[in-house]
């Protein structure tokens, strides 16, 4: 199939392009390179442009005629979304609606949407399944949830088939370390810990050790980026066989604390990682762990790289290389 990967120059989008190419699909990437890297587009053709520009995306869709669209292009920093919500509503909502309009007009084909655990807001119970109330607590989560709701409505009204995949904490890099996570600024725990281990980032600050967890630090559900990509392939297969609108959580179902990440990293790199304990970061829930039973049952998804050391090890091999 010919798949349009929006945001294919970014972290998860570039891994998805590789996974699609490995399955024999033809990959067309759209990216404005505002946060992605041209060098990460290695398994598809890059079409540089803004998804929010109807004069760009409409003609491109007509020319490429993709069999399906996977949409990763978004701003994804919680803090930034609070400081500059307009950026998030424009990039994550308005641009996605422009893309969907163009698809309705030309190719109403399966649409796989990159969503997030941030749609749930403060968890009322863990593990979190898809029936948990959606009450996002920051503009980032609101914008992703808004698109999810639009997709449900577009399926009912226009029969545009879609799936929303709610990622928990994406981490790791592909086995050969040709691509990996590279954000500027980097806010995520594992790359920050690895930067500290490489001695370039200074000591890591642990954001609070007085949470109601066994070691006092926050617990998160780290899911390997290659496992995420497998879930997308399965979701795409299902959408093609049975068009509908569905929502799936994607996580390991097992949580690890910040201290456990530090410990696993120390084992992988062979030395302790310098760190200090600082105050809590605003808006961090103590525990976020997915119930991904639905993806396992319905999609037959079986995450394979669930061990924290394996996740950190793959990220470490990427971070030791020169950046893009």
Active site residues: 140
Nearer to ligand UFG, 284 or 307 (CB): 284
User: Which of 12, 206, 223, 311 touches ligand UFG by CB under 6 A?
Assistant: 206
* Residue numbers 117-156 binding ligand UFG by CB under 6 A: 117-118, 140
Nearer to ligand UFG, 192 or 305 (CB): 192
Nearer to ligand UFG, 100 or 218 (CB): 218
Q: Cβ of residue 197: shortest distance to ligand UFG, in angstroms? A: 13
Q: How many CB atoms lie within 10 A of CB 97?
A: 16
The strand ranges marked E within 203-323 are 204-207, 219-220, 222-224, 245-250, 256-257, 275-278, 287-288
Q: Is 225 in the site for ligand UFG (CB under 6 A)?
A: no
User: Which of 9, 95, 189, 231 touches ligand UFG by CB under 6 A?
Assistant: 189
Q: Is 224 in the site for ligand UFG (CB under 6 A)?
A: no
Q: Alpha-carbon distance 27 to 67, whole Å? A: 11
**CA 21 centroid distance within chain:** 19
Nearer to ligand UFG, 76 or 164 (CB): 76
Q: Is 205 in the site for ligand UFG (CB under 6 A)?
A: yes
Q: Is 259 in the site for ligand UFG (CB under 6 A)?
A: no
Q: Is 75 in the site for ligand UFG (CB under 6 A)?
A: no
- What single DSSP character describes residue 90? I
Long-range contacts of 59-67 (CB under 8 A, 24+ apart): 60/30, 61/4, 61/102, 61/103, 61/106, 61/107, 62/106, 64/2, 64/4, 64/28, 65/2, 65/106, 65/107, 66/2, 66/3, 66/4, 66/28, 66/107, 66/109, 67/1, 67/2, 67/3, 67/109, 67/110
Phi then psi dihedrals of residue 62, to 5 deg: -65, -35
Count residues binding ligand UFG (CB under 6 A).
Answer: 21
User: Which of 14, 17, 35, 76 touches ligand UFG by CB under 6 A?
Assistant: 76
Which of these segments, 50-58, 114-122, 158-166, 227-235, binds ligand UFG (CB under 6 A)?
114-122
The two tokens of residue 313 are 């090890």
Ranges of H-type helices in 89-158:
95-105, 139-158
Cis peptide bond N-terminal to 127, omega within 30: yes
Q: Cβ of residue 148: shortest distance to ligand UFG, in angstroms? A: 14
Q: Cβ of residue 215: shortest distance to ligand UFG, in angstroms? A: 12
Q: Is 26 in the site for ligand UFG (CB under 6 A)?
A: no
Q: Is 74 in the site for ligand UFG (CB under 6 A)?
A: no
With residue 80 as reference, give the H or E element that holds it.
Answer: helix 78-83
Residues at the interface with ligand UFG (CB under 6 A): 76, 78, 116-118, 140, 169, 187-189, 192, 204-207, 218, 220, 258, 281, 284, 288
């Amino acid at each position: 199939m010919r798949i349009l990967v929006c945001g294919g120059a970014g972290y998860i989008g570039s891994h998805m392009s590789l996974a699609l190419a490995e399955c024999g699909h033809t990959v067309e990437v759209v990216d404005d390179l505002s946060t992605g890297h041209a060098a990460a587009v290695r398994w598809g053709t890059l079409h540089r442009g803004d998804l929010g520009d109807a004069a760009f995306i409409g003609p491109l869709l007509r020319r490429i005629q993709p069999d399906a669209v996977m949409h990763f292009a978004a701003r994804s920093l919680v803090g930034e979304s609070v400081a500059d919500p307009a950026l998030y509503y424009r990039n994550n909502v308005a641009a996605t609606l422009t893309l969907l309009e163009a698809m309705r007009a030309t190719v109403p084909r399966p649409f796989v949407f990159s969503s997030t655990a941030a749609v749930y807001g403060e968890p009322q119970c863990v593990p979190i399944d898809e029936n948990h109330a959606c009450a996002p607590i920051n503009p980032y989560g609101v914008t992703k949830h808004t698109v999810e709701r639009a997709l449900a409505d577009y399926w009912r009204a226009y029969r545009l088939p879609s799936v929303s995949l709610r990622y928990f904490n994406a981490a790791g890099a592909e086995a050969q370390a040709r691509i990996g996570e590279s954000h500027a600024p980097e806010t995520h725990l594992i790359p920050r810990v690895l930067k500290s281990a490489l001695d370039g980032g200074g000591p890591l600050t642990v954001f609070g050790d007085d949470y109601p967890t066994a070691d006092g630090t926050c617990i998160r559900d780290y899911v390997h980026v290659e496992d995420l990509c497998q879930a997308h392939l399965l979701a795409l297969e299902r959408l093609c066989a049975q068009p509908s609108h569905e929502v799936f959580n994607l996580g390991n179902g097992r949580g690890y604390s910040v201290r456990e990440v530090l410990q696993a990293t120390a084992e992988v790199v062979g030395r302790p990682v310098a760190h200090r304990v600082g105050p809590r970061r605003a808006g961090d829930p103590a525990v976020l762990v997915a119930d991904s039973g639905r993806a396992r049952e319905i999609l037959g998804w079986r995450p394979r790289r669930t061990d924290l050391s394996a996740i950190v090890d793959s990220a470490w091999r990427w971070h030791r290389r020169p950046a893009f």
